[in-house]
Structure 1
């Protein structure tokens, strides 16, 4: 049975889609939130540092005015010495109305603060400045800060937000994966229950614990299985009943015909009676094959516990030998003694083996042997005979299809084998000519359940 819900990885599984989608969505939201937080943080940092520039300028103005009034030489530039070793982030310079520098901080020379700046904030390629005037414009104070200082502060703050995100993403992915796996566990069980249907099991699917979104699907699947079970039972019942009802009148007609043959000894009409006898025997075999086909296409192909197959195979061969006296043509090989076993129903295995062996004896070279090999996981039956063309090989599993043979038969043997394999989930391999040979025909049945190996029924 194919995976109807697509939860394997040939296609993207629902667990993988949800897990990756939620993890990537959560990561994208975190990244977007971090970006927005970075922009807000940059705005706040700019506001804080602008306020610091303005405050420094307003504090320096009265100090600079007092310093200039007490000077003896008003042309000299006074550098305010630092109080102690420190890193200066905000520098200032005091100028007069003509742009002459009167006072500056210890680190102002390295900044090259431009002149003739308008009152208020200004931004150059490297600096952020604030200019304030006093005493009717005769004293001009400009404070400045390097732009990379602000950028570095914003970068450090953003990294402080990003590093926890990097650490939390794997944890979040694991958490999302665990949550999705736990949530979809009933759905996985539901898929497994559907996949289990088909090996002779058409019982309703358990719906307990399924999410509300999947419960209607389960109900529809159960309804479909019910309709399929009813159709199969009706078809099987019709075939079985028809074949069964035919057995009694066929047996009666055959007995009457055989009595008539005995009474017509030496009569020319005896040949016609013998032809009728042969036709009735073919009809009896056909009814028996139809009953086998009905069982093969129905349920009951799986046993409750694994059963040994070797004793069943020996009984089948003994029965065929009593009917056809073919012990000298059969070569039986059982690997592992009585060890090979399977959960295939013994009756179904007997029908399968009987049809394969009868076909090999009937359609093979009568002068050459037929071999039967049973291993732990495989049953092989082969013979020497005409090669079946490749275009005809797959068609042999259809009812009433026959290969290049003149032997008597209805063309149902391989159809019955194929139906049993299909219903029990076993693999069926047809090969002609024999592997490594120039003629012959071989059928291999893989006794381990293997979906998709049996040619589809037309």
Structure 2
């Protein structure tokens, strides 16, 4: 049995096989008992037949006047004779036999009591001071046929009882484990960002400790993530004002310096402060993305939001963005702010890491798929899988915090949206592509 099969399947198969095996063992035991009892009945019939026929045979033999040879008892009409007999004297001379008796079945010398041959069961008895003997034979095939018919009669009800037992076992197991299956589905169906307690419901006593342990683990994990997000957001927020102040002072100092060497150093400090300011902004976006809240209460049309984000990048990269939008609205329960953060990071990542000689294609389709493609070198598969991680960058020579795709992945996974990263891009031999569906089943079911 597959070790990964469900408990319900294991119990159903195990109990069904167990019940079936018990039924078969019961039938086999009943058949053996029935066969033993039938043998006793058949032996009693042999003995009774011999004792009834022997006095009649003795009378017939003693009343013979001259003929002392063998005689065959006449049959009133043709019939199957299961019991055959012979009557002989002490020396084995045949005096009387039934009309269908086969002399090869009997031994040369008569014997008293029960004996067996390869084909018959024989009972012998004597009379007149052991001078006359009768032997009655019954075919063993007759007994085997009777035992087989009795066994089949016991087995026949199982053809009905086994399917009924199978259905009954599966129904009872399914009914008993219904709460466990619902508990399992409630855990499987929740998204990665849903850390709310699991409803224990009417779980069996054996599974309640598991539910309690799961809820405790979720609570601990939720507290740890809340603390991490709070620290990230607070740290980034607290850094923004000092960084902005320091950046302003450095920019003012740069205008006042005449020494080019010092001015170059100040410019490097300015760039470092800009990077820190950008990093603090990304950390705030990451904290918001991982904090949930990416789902709104009502659907929004995301087409104009994507168009606005693309226009915002036009002054920074004139002519590099090729925007393709659908003619109809694309409604989704994804929060507009979360979508704006997602789109901004995808476009920014494509502009920063893509080839400057190739445009960046930003495409939204009618079915809600958003694709951002850029040219450039191919990202190896092993590196491609790591780009979702924080501070992960394939090209370390290019500036950036390495948080853009981590923010996109946090929003996508928290909203139940599939995010696909491909390199080379679809329909190209180079480049990189990120695709996210903003209207999966969970985000569009109330949007139309």
Task: Give the TM-score, by structure 1 length.
Answer: 0.88
Within the candidate set 231, 239, 253, 2:232 is matched to: 239
Within the candidate set 177, 181, 188, 1:195 is matched to: 188
Matches within 5 A, 1:30-429: 30-109=23-102, 112-261=105-254, 264=256, 272-304=265-297, 307-321=300-314, 324-326=315-317, 328-335=319-326, 337-339=328-330, 341-375=331-365, 376=367, 378-404=369-395, 406-429=397-420
Measure, in 2, the Cα distance between the counterparts of 1:10 and 1:48.
52
Q: 1:143 to 1:10 in 2, by over 3 A?
A: closer
- Partner residue, 1:5: none
Measure, in 1, the Cα distance between the counterparts of 2:199 and 2:289.
26
Measure, in 2, the Cα distance between the counterparts of 1:307 and 1:71.
121
TM-superposed CA distance for 1:448, in Å, is: 6.7
Q: 1:271 to 1:445 in 2, by over 3 A?
A: same
Aligned length: 438
Q: Deviations over 1:180-203 (max 9, x none)?
A: 222221111111111133332110
TM-superposed CA distance for 1:111, in Å, is: 6.2
TM-superposed CA distance for 1:346, in Å, is: 2.9
CA contact (8 A) 2:105 2:120 kept: no
CA contact (8 A) 1:74 1:102 kept: no
Partner of 1:396, secondary structure, is: coil
Q: 1:180 to 1:274 in 2, by over 3 A?
A: same
CA contact (8 A) 1:200 1:302 kept: no
C-alpha RMSD of matched pairs (Å): 2.5
- Partner residue, 1:455: none
Moved more, 283-292 or 432-441: 432-441
Structure 1 unaligned spans of 5+: 1-8, 451-458
Structure 2 unaligned spans of 5+: 442-448
Measure, in 1, the Cα distance between the counterparts of 2:86 and 2:300.
102
Measure, in 2, the Cα distance between the counterparts of 1:100 and 1:447.
107
Within the candidate set 428, 433, 452, 2:424 is matched to: 433
Partner of 1:140, secondary structure, is: strand
Matches within 5 A, 1:436-447: 436-447=427-438
CA contact (8 A) 1:432 1:439 kept: yes
Q: 1:305 to 1:181 in 2, by over 3 A?
A: farther
Moved more, 396-405 or 411-420: 396-405
CA contact (8 A) 1:374 1:380 kept: yes
Measure, in 2, the Cα distance between the counterparts of 1:18 and 1:77.
71
Measure, in 2, the Cα distance between the counterparts of 1:449 and 1:243.
32
Measure, in 1, the Cα distance between the counterparts of 2:143 and 2:158.
23
